[in-house]
């Protein structure tokens, strides 16, 4: 369904950052919800947009609030970029070992080792007639995963509205809500089961999750057997899942087809070594994500209090500097 957007031009472009935070403040969002015409579809007309009552302290305070909250958002964005780099490094390593067979091809070409001696010795010296490293076997991923789908519990939007809380409620592709309880408390991989299953290039929608969380029945919940959740994610992130998806109107990746996805299995020592190699990368990914979550919570707590004057800007600046 098409959605109309209102494009606003500020008289003073330098007020943009404060304006964005002011509109996001709880009091303004409450007003917007109350003004929306909900007879068919929630709407806010241009006249109402112009009449929105915005918190608007003096210029110096506006600049200070925008700078304080902006410092937290800047750190969140920096963490996001760092995580993107870390995950790109892990994907490149996975591709080199398990897709391009870089170490084996380098050995065949007589090239100098580019891994440590203990890792280099784990790889075969040649490819077999099928073009894969000797001794590696084609299996199916179902032999190496544990599906926890039976533990999922879907909740309607009405049920979730009554059960608001701190724990993320995951759907097929993302967090849909936060509720008052959880079903899982461990590192897991979520894979879209129906609706949103494959991206435009055929790769599945995946979510790398950890800690206390809830999952509805639109995402498979997966753990690894003899390989980490992180290695599983890297495997699925380079697979074209479309041949295993059924349903023309409502795409679905059922359990049976998920288990049938081909999987090239190296020796246990190679997979264990790979897990050990990427573990520090994903330790940092989780650490930066948790830090960003704390920063976002701090920003969201400061926002209404700064707008109302309940918290002094100077105190908020000190908090932001300490955290960012």
Q: In whole angstroms, how far apart are CA 118 and each of 44, 102, 158, 207?
A: 64, 16, 56, 32
The helix (H) or strand (E) run that includes residue 268 is helix 268-308
Instruction: Give the mean model confidence (pLDDT) for residues 53-57.
Output: 79
The per-residue pLDDT for 1 is 40
State whether 205 and 87 are in the same domain: no
DSSP 112: P
The per-residue pLDDT for 5 is 63
Rg over alpha carbons for the chain, rounded to the nearest Å, is 25
State whether 174 and 227 are in the same domain: yes
State whether 223 and 315 are in the same domain: no
Q: Identify which has the larger pLDDT, 304 or 204.
A: 204
The domain total for the chain is 3
- CATH of residue 209's domain is 3.90.220.20
Pick the range with the lowest mean pLDDT from 38-42, 140-144, 197-201, 228-232: 38-42
What integer best gives the mean pLDDT of the chain?
Answer: 90
Pick the range with the lowest mean pLDDT from 9-23, 38-52, 213-227, 298-312: 38-52
Domain containing 65: what range? 60-131+268-324
Residue that finishes a domain, picked among 56, 81, 97: 56
State whether 167 and 284 are in the same domain: no
* Residue that has been written with the tokens 């110096």 in this structure: 60
State whether 127 and 197 are in the same domain: no
State whether 261 and 323 are in the same domain: no
State whether 260 and 272 are in the same domain: no
Q: What pairs with residue 178 in β-bridges?
A: 168
pLDDT, tens digit, for every residue of 183-236? 999 999 999 999 889 999 999 999 999 999 999 999 999 999 989 999 999 999
* Residue that has been written with the tokens 């995580």 in this structure: 83
Q: 3-class SS at 226? A: coil
Q: What pairs with residue 95 in β-bridges?
A: none
State whether 72 and 116 are in the same domain: yes
State whether 124 and 273 are in the same domain: yes
State whether 144 and 126 are in the same domain: no
Query: pLDDT band at residue 240, thresholds of 50, 70 and 90?
Result: very high
Query: Quick one: the chain helix, strand, coil %, rounded to 5?
Result: 50, 15, 35
Residue that finishes a domain, picked among 230, 249, 265: 265
pLDDT at 2 over 60: no
Pick the range with the lowest mean pLDDT from 12-21, 163-172, 179-188, 260-269: 12-21
Q: In whole angstroms, how far apart are CA 191 and each of 1, 233, 247, 253, 291?
A: 26, 9, 17, 9, 25
State whether 257 and 165 are in the same domain: yes
What predicted TM-score, i.e. pTM, was given to this entire model? 0.87
Q: In this structure, what are the phi and psi dihedrals at residue 221, rounded to the nearest 5 degrees?
A: -110, 120
State whether 156 and 169 are in the same domain: yes
Closest CA to 170 of 133, 247, 222: 222
Neighbours of 51 (CB within 10 A): 10
Neighbours of 172 (CB within 10 A): 22
Q: In whole angstroms, how far apart are CA 312 and each of 23, 135, 230, 301?
A: 20, 66, 43, 13
């Amino acid at each position: 369904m098409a959605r109309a957007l209102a494009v606003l031009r500020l008289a003073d472009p330098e007020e943009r950052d404060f304006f964005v935070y002011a509109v996001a403040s709880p009091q303004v969002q409450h007003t917007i919800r109350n003004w929306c015409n909900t007879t068919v579809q929630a709407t806010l007309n241009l006249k109402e947009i112009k009449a929105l009552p915005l918190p608007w302290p003096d210029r110096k305070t506006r600049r200070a609030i925008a700078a304080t909250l902006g410092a937290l958002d800047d750190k969140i964005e920096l963490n996001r970029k760092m995580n993107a780099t870390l995950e790109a490094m892990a994907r490149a390593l996975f591709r080199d070992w398990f897709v391009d067979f870089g170490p084996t091809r380098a050995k065949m070409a007589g090239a100098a080792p580019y891994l440590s001696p203990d890792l280099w010795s784990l790889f075969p010296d040649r490819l077999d007639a099928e073009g894969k490293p000797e001794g590696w076997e084609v299996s199916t991923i179902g032999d190496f995963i544990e599906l926890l789908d039976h533990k999922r519990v879907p909740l309607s939007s009405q049920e979730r509205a009554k059960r608001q809380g701190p724990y993320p409620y995951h759907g097929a592709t993302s967090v849909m809500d936060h509720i008052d309880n959880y079903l899982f408390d461990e590192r897991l991989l979520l894979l879209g089961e129906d609706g949103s299953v494959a991206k435009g290039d055929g790769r599945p929608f995946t979510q790398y999750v950890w800690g206390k969380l809830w999952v509805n029945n639109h995402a498979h919940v997966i753990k690894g057997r003899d390989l980490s959740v992180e290695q599983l994610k890297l495997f699925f992130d380079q697979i074209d899942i479309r041949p295993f998806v059924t349903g023309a109107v409502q795409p679905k990746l059922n359990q049976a087809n998920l288990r049938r996805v081909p999987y090239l299995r190296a020796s246990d020592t190679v997979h264990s070594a790979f897990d050990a190699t990427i573990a520090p990368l994903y330790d940092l990914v989780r650490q930066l994500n948790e830090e960003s979550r704390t920063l976002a919570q701090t920003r969201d707590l400061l926002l209404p209090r700064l707008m109302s004057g309940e918290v002094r800007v100077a105190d908020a600046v000190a908090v932001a500097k300490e955290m960012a």
